[in-house]
Amino acid sequence: MELTHIDEKGNTRMVDVGDKMHTRRVAKAQSVVTMQDSTLNLIVAGKMPKGDVFACARVAGIMAAKKTSDLVPMCHPLPLEKITIDIEPINKTQVRILATAQCTYKTGVEMEALTAATMAGLTIYDMCKAVDRTMRIDEVFLLHKDGGKSGVFNREI
């Protein structure tokens, strides 16, 4: 298997996508934030001292997706067409963040979706840490990708 980010001398490089065709690319990633039930109750009731936690996390996830190439060294800057961040409680102590990224370009949007899901989780942590230091962010992974030469990927969960 050829390592695409390493040249023939072993040096790190950005992959050349110049000759690739533009295709529609979609990726969906998740993260799960675990917290005390009292913390989730405050968020859902809109009583967290720092404001609307989920709204802020959605904005942070979108902003992060747009900055992925600034954060991950070998990522190409992409002309993102759509980013969505869905956040919902999945039980009394956890929220699931689903980030979907979409573009028509020469390379995939997996890193953008993963970055969005992670930053949304970090924002929830930041906004709630004053009332709950036990929070953790887990289960960050790619759920789905479509487009490009490698085709479709769906994680079985």
Instruction: Assign 150 a pLDDT band (cuts: 50, 70, 90).
Output: confident
Please indicate, yes or no, if residue 8 is contained in any of the structural domains.
no
Domain assignment present for 7: no
Tell me if 5 is assigned to some domain.
no
Q: Which residue range(s) make up the domain with 104?
A: 23-154
Task: Please state, for a pLDDT cut of 90, what percent of the chain lies above it.
Answer: 81
Q: Is residue 61 part of a domain?
A: yes
Residue 6 domain-assigned?
Answer: no
Pick the catalytic residue from 16, 52, 126, 138: 126
Q: Is residue 15 part of a domain?
A: no
pLDDT tens across 131-146, in order? 999 999 999 999 999 9
126 is catalytic: yes
* Extended beta strands in the chain, E state: 23-34, 80-89, 94-105, 136-146, 153-154
Contact status, residue 100 vs residue 64, Cβ threshold 8 Å: no
Across 33-37, 104-108, 118-122, 147-151, least confident range: 147-151
Buried b (16+ CB within 10 A) or exposed e, 86-125: ebeeeeebbbbbbbbbbbebbbbbbbbbbbbbbbbbbbbb
| Three-class DSSP category at 13 | coil
For residue 11, being part of any structural domain is answered with no
Query: What is the domain-level CATH number for residue 126?
Result: 3.30.70.640
Global pTM? 0.92
Counting the structural domains of the chain, the total is: 1
- Residue 83 neighbours by CB under 8 Å, 6+ apart: 61, 62, 65, 66, 99, 100, 101, 102, 112, 116
Does some domain include residue 80? yes
